Structure 1
Amino acid sequence: MSETYAHTDPLLTDKEGCAILGIAKPTWHKWVQRGLIPKPVKLGNLSRWPRSEVLAVIENAKAARQAV
């Protein structure tokens, strides 16, 4: 029996997240340490971030900009 599963919130690598945010990998990891980007989902030795959480970083920055 085959089941089709469409993942609506794909997991991204740090490289993919960097491309979305337009930042370098060292900046990405600094932001994770500072809590600006959520900690990764760990899959064995792999670190991945839900796309929705990466996009939320942008939305949070936009909201902070509006609050000033």
Structure 2
Amino acid sequence: MTNLLQTESLVYANRHNNEQTGRPLLPDVEKRTRFAMGDDILLSMKDITAHSGLSDKHYYSLISRGLFPRPLKIGRSSRWRKSDYEAWLNERAAAR
């Protein structure tokens, strides 16, 4: 459980720094959290929306229709495996 708390605090700190500098978010999050999660890190909705440019409302609509992976619930937080998110992106790209 300690690794998860460390991961969430690093993600929060990293998100705060990236909002100020405008750098891409996911590579920094991945680099800082790989030690805690292995190759499959967890992404927050803010991470996903920052990467895609789409709103959280859009994603929650897709979830309710079964078109986007359901989140893992950690307490009251929702997180997605990076591998699930990337698989969903690849499916969308293949369907174009």
Q: TM-score if structure 1 supplies the norm length? A: 0.77
Instruction: Note if 1:39 corresponds to 2:70.
Output: yes
SS in 2 for 1:47: strand
Equivalent residue for 2:87, pick from 35, 56, 62: 56
- As a proportion of its length, which structure holds more helix? 2
Task: Find runs of 4+ consecutive structure 1 residues off by over 3 angstroms.
Answer: none
Query: Where does structure 2 lack aligned partners over 5 or more consecutive residues?
Result: 1-34
Same amino acid, percent of matched pairs:
34
Aligned residues: 62
- 1:5 Cα deviation from its structure 2 partner: 5.1
Greater strand share, structure number: 1
TM-score by length of 2: 0.57
